[in-house]
């Protein structure tokens, strides 16, 4: 999986999903993985319910 998917803009992500370059599930997983990796340091989320 491409771990940089979470760095795409919303427009870029939409274009790549529409072009079938990536799946929405891949994008969401990348974002959730990033949250998990950084949350202890950042503390931005009260609750994440994937």
Residues 6+ apart with CB under 8 A from 20: none
Asked if residues 26 and 5 have their Cβ atoms less than 8 Å apart, the reply is: yes
* Mean pLDDT score, 9-31: 97
CA distance 3 to 36: 13
How far is residue 41's CA from residue 19's CA, in Å, rounded to a whole number? Answer: 35
Q: Where residue 3 falls among pLDDT bands split at 50, 70, 90?
A: low
Residue 2 has φ and ψ, to the nearest 5°, of: -80, 110
Is the predicted pLDDT of residue 1 greater than 60, yes or no? no
pTM summary value: 0.78
């Amino acid at each position: 999986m491409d771990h940089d998917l979470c760095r795409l803009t919303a427009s870029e992500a939409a274009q790549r999903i529409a072009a079938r370059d990536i799946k929405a599930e891949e994008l969401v997983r990348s974002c959730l993985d990033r949250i998990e990796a950084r949350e202890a340091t950042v503390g931005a989320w009260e609750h994440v319910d994937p």
